Amino acid sequence: MKNRTIPFGYCYDNGTVCVNKAEAEILGQICECYIGGMSLLKIAEKLNKEKIEYMPGVIGWNKARLMRIIEDKRYLGDCTYPAVITEDMHSKLLKAKCKRNTQKDTDRSADIFNLNLPVLCPNCGCEMQRRHDTRCKISERWTCRNDECKTLIIIADDALLQEITESLTAAVKHPDIVTVTDRSCEPSDAIRKMNAEIARTLETYSFPKDGLRKKMMECVSLKYAEIPSEKYITQRLKADFEKSSPLSTFPADLCRRTVKSVHLRTDGTVGLTLINDQKIGKEQIV
């Protein structure tokens, strides 16, 4: 996008900065809309729909441009720029901005921001997104990213972290709850096909040894690649839980090493899927 050489609402007249009356009128409408509660996105959409030019030949309104206008103190007037808005209008703009900034006191070092795992919806299984709204009694809520689901779970950060901690406590106190289900390893179609080819080759009177050797090595590689890893992962999980100290606070590092995803439940409880795909919860504490 092109940039203006002079703020929106002004123009040059014989080298002197003057108020552009048409733009100043639009600027006033922008301020009134923002103070009235309209979002920057909605204001930008409105201006673009009405084909209001940001500069000659350019529309392209967006949130960043609007925020720069709202924050620009030059509209109050100085030695270069004549006043376009009043002190009262500027004060209302700043108050409106401050009121909307519900994240200004957020402590980004809090444990909830160390939960770098997908939090999944109990209804559709899609990933959920954390929302924070200080206007609500419980500020934190999780909404499903699936537009067709839109499940909403209200759970405070402390409660969520406590649920996760209690679930991991079950594994730390009783690592034997971490198990793997043995499954018979049927060869894949690719391995069966290669075994058949090797067998047919061996039945021939004369066969190319180098070619057969290469095919057999390919077959061994396929078989190795299909060896289940659940037992190894489970043993590693057990060892991790066994060497962990008793938990009193949210164990961010342990959670990151052992958990694949967090599952919110409609009753406010939380379940975990470990990295071996086993699901556990605090109800397993005995």
Q: What is the residue extent of each domain of the chain?
A: 10-100, 111-181+230-284, 189-225
Report angle CA 11, 17, 21 to the nearest 5 degrees. Answer: 45
Looking at residue 226, its pLDDT comes to: 65
User: Among 69-78, 154-163, 195-204, 259-268, where is mean pLDDT lowest?
Assistant: 195-204
236 token code pair: 């590693």
Question: What does the pLDDT average to over 219-226?
Answer: 72
Q: How many CB atoms neighbour CB 224 within 10 A?
A: 8
Task: Give the chain's mean pLDDT.
Answer: 85
Question: What does the pLDDT average to over 66-89?
Answer: 92
pTM of the model: 0.51
End-to-end CA distance of the chain: 63
Looking at residue 25, its pLDDT comes to: 95
Is it the case that residue 223 has pLDDT exceeding 90?
no
Is it the case that residue 180 has pLDDT exceeding 60?
yes
User: Among 1-5, 58-62, 91-95, 127-131, where is mean pLDDT lowest?
Assistant: 1-5
Q: Label residue 1 by pLDDT band (50, 70, 90).
A: very low
Query: DSSP per residue over 136-168, as a string?
Result: SSS-EEEEES-TTT--EEE--HHHHHHHHHHHH
What proportion of the chain, given as a percentage, has pLDDT over 90? 38
Torsions phi, psi for 64 (to 5 deg): -65, -45
Can you tell me the distance from the alpha carbon of 256 to that of 254, in angstroms, rounded to the nearest whole number? 5
Q: How many CB atoms neighbour CB 196 within 10 A?
A: 10
Q: How many CB atoms neighbour CB 34 within 10 A?
A: 22
Better-predicted residue by pLDDT, 102 or 76: 76
35 token code pair: 């103070």
Is it the case that residue 215 has pLDDT exceeding 50?
yes
Looking at residue 246, its pLDDT comes to: 85
pLDDT tens column, 104-125 = 555 555 678 888 889 999 999 9
Question: What does the pLDDT average to over 11-16?
Answer: 89
pLDDT tens column, 160-177 = 999 999 999 989 999 888
